[in-house]
Structure 1
């Protein structure tokens, strides 16, 4: 019983950071900046959810804030970027479709964090 309560509370404590972006790619310089931004996200532990949506699981709101600050430090000069934090519980309620077929959302792999 206590384990169920802890698990439920943990779903509200653990967070997902989603980075949604629309970056220009008309010039070589724009493409290079967009590629650099994507690489920075991957280097910080984000993974691609869709072409212009990257996500990262964080064990706590404080940890999510750390990664949000890192994203802000590598923002490209041009384009639109949105950073969103949602709880694990909210993320679990996402309905995901490929075409008209609903698919299960993948459970994130256990992530090791060193302090």
Structure 2
């Protein structure tokens, strides 16, 4: 089956976690490190993104994230297609830049 920009997915995890106490800071850092270990990259502070091969992979990652959410705070997950990702407008220091790097297709044979 050919790759389709409408089936390939992106995940955006946004979170607002309390960091008032040492325990809260430790929980927030642990959650952030979990996202990094899962292959997410920081897009902005408290916003992490990851490319996924399709809906089944997205569902599995959401399930894993659910199990790691700290007791306090708020976590939101947004999923969208690769085609939608390509239409993202990124502004940095008043200049337009292209969205993050695109995935590369690996050939085994």
* TM norm. shorter chain > 0.5: yes
8 Å contact 1:57–1:108 — kept in the other structure? no
Aligned to 1:3: none
Give the Cα–Cα distance (whole angstroms) in 1 for the partners of residues 75 and 104 of structure 2: 27
TM-score (norm 1): 0.85
Whole-Å separation in 2 of the counterparts to 1:111 and 1:39:
27
Q: Distance in 1 between matches of 2:94 and 2:15?
A: 25
Question: C-alpha separation between the residues in 1 aligned to 2:34 and 2:105?
Answer: 18
Q: CA RMSD in A?
A: 1.6
d(CA) in 2 for partners of 1:110, 1:65:
22
Match for residue 90 of structure 1 among 78, 84, 104: 84
Matched, 1:60 2:54: yes
Structure 1 CA distance for aligned equivalents of residues 92 and 86 of structure 2: 17
In the alignment, structure 2 segments of 5+ residues that lack a partner are none
- Deviation track 1:21-78 (CA, whole Å, cap 9, x = no partner) reads 0111111011000000000111111111111100110011111111111111100111
- The size of the alignment, in residue pairs, is 105
2-structure distance, mates of 1:69, 1:52: 19
Return 5+ residue gaps in structure 1 as ranges.
1-5
Give the TM-score, by structure 2 length: 0.89
Separation in structure 1 between the aligned mates of residue 100 and residue 76 of structure 2, nearest angstrom: 23
Structure number having the greater helix percentage:
1
